[in-house]
Amino acid sequence: MSDSHERASEAPSRRKFLNTAAAAGLAGVGLAACNDKGAPAAAAPAASAAGHVGAAPAGVHPKPGELDTYYGLWSGGHTGDMRVLGLPSGRELHRIPCFVPDALVGWGQTNESKAIMGTKPDGSLKFPCADTHHTHASYKDGNYDGRYAWINDKINARIARIRLDYFICDKITQIPNVQGFHGIFPDKADPVDPKINYTTRVFCGAEFGIPLPNTAADAAKAETYHSLFTCVDAETMEVRWQALIDGNCDLVATSYDGKLAAANQYNIEGGAHYAEMMSAERDACVFFHVARVEQAVKDGKFKTYGDSKVPVVDATRKANTDPKTAIAGYVSVPKNPHGVNASPDGKYFICAGKLSPTATVIELAKVLEWFDGKLEKIDSAIVAEVELGLGPLHTAFDGRGNAYTTLFLDSQLVKWNVDGAIKFHAGDKSVKYVVDRLDLQYQPGHVNASQSETRFADGKWLAVGCKFSKDRFLPVGPLHAENEQIIDISGEKMVLVADHPVRGEPHDFIIFKRDLLRPKQIYSLDDFPNAVKDPKESGVTRNGKKVTVKMTSQAPAFSLPEFTVKKGDEVTIILTNLDKVEDLTHGFAIANHGVNFIVNPQETKSVTFTADKAGVFWCYCTHFCHALHLEMRSRMIVEA
Ligand code: RUQ
Ligand code: CUA
Ligand code: CA
């Protein structure tokens, strides 16, 4: 381990390419996340030469009452939510429920949230689970504009939009004809109209090919399996178009000028099993010429599949042999790449090697030259392909020309200089492009740095999502927390400043300056068409067996101390919180009816349930709101 700095550019044989046979062995061992250095490395945190564990610099953890200087938006993983963190402290401030019910908010229980999540004809939720991976926010002028964030659900091919004024999910779209929907990335400008320098589209990559159209009869016909790249409209959240490709999509990146979107591809083989998916020496990064795709859609050059009306353009190699008219081009990258990340100077996309110990630097200007017919081979857009270490997955940037790539198998973060790597690749082997290495605990996946995915990367803080925490926290049984590590990257050497346990499994996140958001503290009654604006509107109305109960809350009372319905009624409670005071949230629960949700200041929510038992049922406020919070009650009387 003490040789970590020297070994950087020299690439001793141990880290020579995981060629053929070696790769198969590694897939069995390494990808199952046994550190190839074995237990000793895992048992010796912080002690290694590559581990610069420092006393936390001043300001890492805010003093009581002090605010963080950055927001972090974290994917929630299995919990199907988006988590909001304060950075650099790493304090979790909020969870925004999206795809999965949330007991605090009543998400998945209120009629409003169910309408967003999607229900079956019987009113139950269409999908009870989710697997969120990637979260990114909307842009203007190359920076976050505080409008929206998006997050994916890999299991059910859903994309959710979060409004960043209220920190709520307001729309969910299911993408047709895809499975394993993984990477997302918003565009940062329009490819044609220079006035549109903000996000209007979100690109979505599907990992798993399926027969198109999807019929079991084609299960054995590999040639019918395809994966689609999808464009969702940022405002309407409707699917604008899809592109049929060769191979699959994994992560997605977009250029700052809006002209290019790309997805890395690890299964160019179209394999169904990992051995097949690793059989080719190189896979690809597929680039889409966004303006040409949209022109093809306008010109009616598309198909549709199944029930979907979404236009699907043909972005396969076969249909795109002439670069001057091609809508897509495939840049070859080494075996089974993973993350593709755009550098903040707007010049490069970097593909991390995963099964190759390399990063591939692709120059976007050259990709555009290829599309213009001025570059003979699209692979000539590769300006560096340099060794970093074992299992490179994702890359972040500091805005000073350095990239930070996670090495899953080496349990390291490697800081390297992009220009240095390009010079090295061009032939100057004296260039030491690796600047520093830091041991991580353990098996890092996603990485991001403050403002890294904007033109304003500021090189202050970096967080790494370690997939394994092993010995870093008190044991809590077989399920371990994951370890989000916070690293100070302001100097030449990286300094590990904090470990934070997080519930599995967050995957991706972004970090940005707090002044880019202006969250609202209070809703407006007018945001809700069903608001009960005056306590005098409270009461019970009946339409056959359907009963509506309108109510308001104002600490420490609900407007109706009691209300009466009949056994068998379908009851809808509409509750508006008329309190206007910041932080004054009420809850509403009904004993033995499975009802509980909160209403924030000036918010309206409704729930519908069947009153299936006669009797008296206390309703009470579940959110501590007032000295008389415990006294804040109502009663539901259900007549036989
Ligand atoms: S992937 S560890 Cu789901 Cu974001 Cu790379
Ligand atoms: Cu209202 Cu507690
Ligand atoms: Ca492959």
pLDDT tens-place string over residues 149-166: 999 999 999 999 999 999
Contacts of 543 (CB under 8 A, 6+ apart): none
User: Regarding beta strands 252-254 and 260-265, do their DSSP bridges make them parallel or antiparallel, or are they unpaired?
Assistant: antiparallel
B/e letters for 554-580, b = 16+ CB within 10 Å, e = fewer, are bbbbbbbeebebeeebbbbbbbbbbbe
Tokens found for residue 153: 């659900």
For residue 599, the ligand closest to its alpha carbon is 2
pLDDT at 10 over 70: no
Atom of ligand 1 nearest to the CA of 250: 1
The pair of structure tokens assigned to 439 is 């041991």
Structure tokens at 401: 């020309």
Give the distance (Å) from ligand 3 centre to CA of residue 283. Answer: 5
Nearest to 444 by CA among 354, 358, 356, 341: 354
Q: Which contacts of 8-17 are long-range, i.e. CB under 8 A and separated by 24 or more positions? A: 8/414, 8/432, 8/433, 8/434, 8/437, 9/386, 9/387, 9/424, 9/429, 9/431, 9/432, 9/433, 9/434, 11/357, 11/387, 15/357, 15/387, 15/389, 15/390, 16/357, 17/334, 17/356, 17/357, 17/358
Q: So what's the pLDDT on residue 115? A: 98
Residue 5 or residue 242, greater confidence: 242
Give me ligand 2 centre to Cα 629, in Å. 5
CA of 463 to the centre of ligand 1 (A): 14
Nearest ligand atom owner, CA of 508: 1
DSSP label at residue 388: -
Q: Is the pLDDT of residue 2 over 50?
A: no
pLDDT > 80? residue 440: yes
Report the alpha-carbon distance of residue 422 to residue 400 in Å, rounded.
Answer: 15
Please give the share of the chain, as a percent, with pLDDT higher than 70: 91
Cα 378–Cα 508–Cα 161 angle in degrees, nearest 5: 95
pLDDT, tens digit, 9 for 90 and up, residues 485-544: 999 999 999 999 999 999 988 899 999 999 999 999 999 999 999 999 999 999 999 999
pLDDT at 57: 56
Structural element, H or E, at residue 423 = helix 418-426
Provide the mean pLDDT of the chain.
92
Ligand 2: which residues within 6 Å by Cβ? 555, 586, 621, 623-626, 629, 632
Q: Closest by alpha carbon to 252, among 150, 384, 401, 365?
A: 150
What is the whole-number distance in angstroms between the Cα of residue 183 and the centre of ligand 1?
8
For residue 328, list its beta bridge partners: 288
The type of residue at 476 is V
Q: How confident is the model at residue 1 (pLDDT cuts 50, 70, 90)?
A: very low
pLDDT in tens, 24-80: 434 443 444 444 333 333 333 333 445 566 555 555 788 999 999 999 999 999 999
Which ligand 2 atom minimizes the distance to the CA of 623?
2
pLDDT in tens, 552-582: 999 999 999 999 999 999 999 999 999 999 9
**Degrees to nearest 5, angle at CA 407 with 271 and 29:** 55
Residue where the block lists tokens 């909160």: 598
Evaluate the CA torsion angle 410, 416, 420, 426 in order and state its sign: positive
CA distance 573 to 596: 11
**pLDDT at residue 22 above 80?**
no
Q: Which residue has the tokens 């520093």?
A: 436
Question: 467 in ligand 1 pocket by Cβ < 6 Å?
Answer: no
